[in-house]
Structure 1
Amino acid sequence: MKNLRASCLCFLLLGWRAGCGFERYSSLGETVTLPCAGFQKYENSFIYWTFSQRSGTASELASGGKITVKQPERAARLEVLPDSSLRIHHLHTEDAGRYECQQYLNGMLYKGGTPVVLTLLTSFLQYSSLGETVTLPCAGFQKYENSFIHWTFSQRYETSSELASGGKITVKQPERAARLEVLPDSSLRIHHLHTEDAGRYDCEQNINGYFHSGGTPVFLTLLTITAVPGRDLMRGIDLALQCTLVCNGGIADCRSVPDNVKLTWVDDEGTALQGDMFKITSYRTHSILSLELQKSDHNRRWRCDLTEGGAVKASYSYTTTLAGSADRISPLQAGSNPTLTCSLTCGFVCPPAKLLWSDSNGNSLHGGAREGFLIRSNITSSQLFLTGLQSSEQIRCSVEEEGKQRVYLQYLIQLPVSVSKVELIIRVFIFCAVLIIPAIIGAVVYVKRSKRAAEEVTSGIELTPVRGLPVSPGITATL
């Protein structure tokens, strides 16, 4: 069926079918080699390659082993091999057409080579990120009574494997089967994307036992971030974050990605990261962000956007958690019901590990060890639900890997200090005492000083005799 579809594309693209010559099939982004046979080598001869589409005039591509096409971008993708074959790298849509090699001998042109008709199989690129959910469309089919849709998956040049048939998931791996879902319109939905999900997806229609490949293949490309180092981050450490495209099952298999796809590091508002503290090295399929961690980078989210033609198609984030740092939660009221979330951020597939909750003394909070603490966990994240919180708590989330635990994240939950009635009375008494005692001391001091001043005023004063009153000689009265 693939050859049948390719032949139809040949007819549509070139405008002819009979006499197409030697047919060659390939896909966008691939590399193809077109043979030039049927000529003998002579001293004064050379090979001449031409290209044409539909009924247009043939244009020259190469002559005498040298690329002569005028368009620089196309010329960079063409190569003449020693046997005069023409190799085309990173195929574009406009490369589909008729190629002819001819021989010049002593100024005369000889058309002895068989024309090569290059037909490209079109595909649909779908972008997403690890952990996300994506829906792959299946279109181009009509519904018949005895028909059903058949989904297959392949990577690189491996044989395709069946994923679903007749609306039912048929893949053998239980973990992968649990993440797949066929929708009523025959689209395939993939939940919680993994690295191994990157590749080619084909939907085919089976009618009365015969398969018809009329659907457009979907190439799923995933976006991910890896960190070096990936653990035990601290202030002052040099960190390298690599944002990478995963295509067709591997990082290096992204030949079908268009040239207008870019990877950009941005902040939470979508503004590109700038400044001397960031060093960004960008390539076609990955981008590296290098920096020295600061105290303010604790729980900071670093986001990588994948854009195609300026439009954001996918995003992936990585959060840096510095060892020994604590998330201080705003003071809560007694009886509050906060929820704490602890999650693993993995570059590709998370290693076998467990997320464990404990208090500041290292006592486990799992299995109902403490009333009011409820834990729900999955493979990469865990949530702690606190009900009726009555006191401040310092809680740790640790990751257990190969039997060893290390602190992954700490939370410090603060409640306002509650005051009992007795404590309130004591505090009021102390407050009043602080205000009254200085006043009493001041009053006592004032009375004593007033009495002393009165004594000083009256001591040493003589009484002067009043005229007209007899006073005995030698007698004085003092007060």
Structure 2
Amino acid sequence: MADKCDLCLLGLIILSSLLTGTSGDDVFISSGENVRLPCNKALSDCKSKTTWIYYNRFRHSEVKLITGGIKNKDSERHERLSLESDCSLNIKNVTEEDSGLYTCRQYVNYRPQGPDAYASLHVLHVSVSPSSSSSSSSSQTEISPGRSVTLSCQLYSDTGFSCDYWVSSEGYELLWVNQAGVDLKTDSRYQILSSSDPDLCIILTLTTTLLNEDDNRECRCQLTLGNQLLTSVRYTVKYSDPVASPTLIPVRSSNSEKTSSRTTATAPTQVIVIIVEIAVLLLLL
């Protein structure tokens, strides 16, 4: 019942934007990047009159990020937010948790002015399987050749529609490609599985066993709409340095070797001299 209410609420928001002549913007971004969400307002001194609201129906959360131009410090992301002079909202170092619907609303004398502006933020994120690597980051993983690695490309999106409908009807598609832009589905080395999740929308998983020549090789997950590239995430595999085993290296013409050779050569001579001296002494006695 709650899910239906959330869907109805989102539908009313979209319907309201259509009736008032304000269209929502779909913004696609990769995790870790910075994004700017437009407000489309031209009021003077808009900062003190602007409120930004974040809504995500999956997490059932609605938060006022900025009220009257002042950031809400109770928001977990307030340190990454800033308000521009044109009232657009900047988000630094975007994470998958930032996906959702953003509403820009302005007030004059405590009354809303004009229609709201909407922006739907869709975040593309790549993660590596925890069992595949002992050291990883958002764009690079360290692993040894011969092991299997699994990369999951996930599109976090709050569209208000089912993911299957969004993909089949709108034509959005996720692809794993190599450095040359060739679809990795054509390479039998890579196993690629596509699935959907209500909270994520699209998941495209890539699994392969790494070879020696894969060191520093880059692959890319990209989101397309028809022939248009919307956003992409690059991922580089970097092999960790193996522990070097101790090796014996012959020393040639080193000073230490010459010194030890001289010492070894003079030792027998000194012994002979001592023996002769003792023999002479015995004869005299």
Normalising by structure 2, what TM-score? Answer: 0.64
For the Cα contact (< 8 Å) 2:56–2:158, is it kept in 1?
Answer: yes
The equivalent position to 1:203 in structure 2, one of 64, 82, 104, is 104
| Post-superposition offset of 1:298 | 2.2
Helix, strand or coil: the match of 1:321? Answer: strand
Unaligned runs of 5+ in 2: 1-7, 135-142, 197-201, 245-253, 256-285
C-alpha RMSD of matched pairs (Å) = 3.7
The equivalent position to 2:210 in structure 1, one of 266, 285, 293, is 293
Does 1:246 pair with 2:156? Answer: yes
For the Cα contact (< 8 Å) 2:29–2:121, is it kept in 1?
Answer: yes
> Could you give the per-residue CA deviations for residues 61-118 of structure 1, whole angstroms, max 9, x where no partner exists?
xxxxxxxxxxxxxxxxxxxxxxxxxxxxxx9xxxx9xxxxxxxxxxxxxxxxxxxxx9
Does 1:279 pair with 2:191? Answer: yes
When residues 207 and 194 of structure 1 are mapped into structure 2, their CA distance, relative to the original with a 3 A threshold, is same
| Post-superposition offset of 1:237 | 2.0
For the Cα contact (< 8 Å) 1:26–1:121, is it kept in 2?
Answer: no
Does 1:127 pair with 2:111? Answer: no
Unaligned runs of 5+ in 1: 1-23, 31-90, 97-117, 327-359, 361-421, 424-479
For the Cα contact (< 8 Å) 1:26–1:120, is it kept in 2?
Answer: no
C-alpha separation between the residues in 2 aligned to 1:281 and 1:321?
Answer: 23
C-alpha separation between the residues in 1 aligned to 2:31 and 2:81?
Answer: 15
Equivalent positions of 1:20-31 (< 5 A) are 27=11
When residues 255 and 275 of structure 1 are mapped into structure 2, their CA distance, relative to the original with a 3 A threshold, is closer
When residues 255 and 325 of structure 1 are mapped into structure 2, their CA distance, relative to the original with a 3 A threshold, is farther
- Residue 164 (structure 1) aligns with: 66
When residues 296 and 231 of structure 1 are mapped into structure 2, their CA distance, relative to the original with a 3 A threshold, is same
When residues 268 and 125 of structure 1 are mapped into structure 2, their CA distance, relative to the original with a 3 A threshold, is same
- Residue 237 (structure 2) aligns with: 320
When residues 144 and 255 of structure 1 are mapped into structure 2, their CA distance, relative to the original with a 3 A threshold, is farther
| Post-superposition offset of 1:196 | 1.1
C-alpha separation between the residues in 2 aligned to 1:126 and 1:254?
Answer: 19
Helix, strand or coil: the match of 2:49? Answer: strand
Q: How many pairs are equivalent?
A: 217
Q: Which amino acid aligns with 1:296?
A: E
- Residue 41 (structure 1) aligns with: none
For the Cα contact (< 8 Å) 2:105–2:117, is it kept in 1?
Answer: no
- Residue 179 (structure 2) aligns with: 268
| Post-superposition offset of 1:186 | 0.6
For the Cα contact (< 8 Å) 1:262–1:307, is it kept in 2?
Answer: yes
Flag the structure with larger Rg.
1
For the Cα contact (< 8 Å) 1:237–1:292, is it kept in 2?
Answer: yes
> Could you give the per-residue CA deviations for residues 318-344 of structure 1, whole angstroms, max 9, x where no partner exists?
222334359xxxxxxxxxxxxxxxxxx
For the Cα contact (< 8 Å) 2:33–2:93, is it kept in 1?
Answer: yes
C-alpha separation between the residues in 1 aligned to 2:28 and 2:164?
Answer: 12
Normalising by structure 1, what TM-score? Answer: 0.40
For the Cα contact (< 8 Å) 1:239–1:293, is it kept in 2?
Answer: yes
Helix, strand or coil: the match of 2:74? Answer: coil
When residues 212 and 325 of structure 1 are mapped into structure 2, their CA distance, relative to the original with a 3 A threshold, is farther
| Post-superposition offset of 1:155 | 0.9
| Post-superposition offset of 1:169 | 2.2
C-alpha separation between the residues in 2 aligned to 1:183 and 1:230?
Answer: 42
| Post-superposition offset of 1:241 | 1.6
Percent identity between the aligned chains?
27
The equivalent position to 1:235 in structure 2, one of 125, 137, 145, is 145
For the Cα contact (< 8 Å) 1:127–1:221, is it kept in 2?
Answer: yes
Q: Which has the higher contact order (CA 8 A, sep 6+)?
A: 2
> Could you give the per-residue CA deviations for residues 245-278 of structure 1, whole angstroms, max 9, x where no partner exists?
01239xx878766631111111223332332212
When residues 236 and 230 of structure 1 are mapped into structure 2, their CA distance, relative to the original with a 3 A threshold, is closer
Q: Which amino acid aligns with 1:163?
A: L
Equivalent positions of 1:102-117 (< 5 A) are none
Q: Which amino acid aligns with 1:270?
A: G
For the Cα contact (< 8 Å) 1:298–1:325, is it kept in 2?
Answer: no
Equivalent positions of 1:433-452 (< 5 A) are none
| Post-superposition offset of 1:282 | 3.2
> Could you give the per-residue CA deviations for residues 351-372 of structure 1, whole angstroms, max 9, x where no partner exists?
xxxxxxxxx9xxxxxxxxxxxx
When residues 262 and 205 of structure 1 are mapped into structure 2, their CA distance, relative to the original with a 3 A threshold, is same
| Post-superposition offset of 1:121 | 8.9
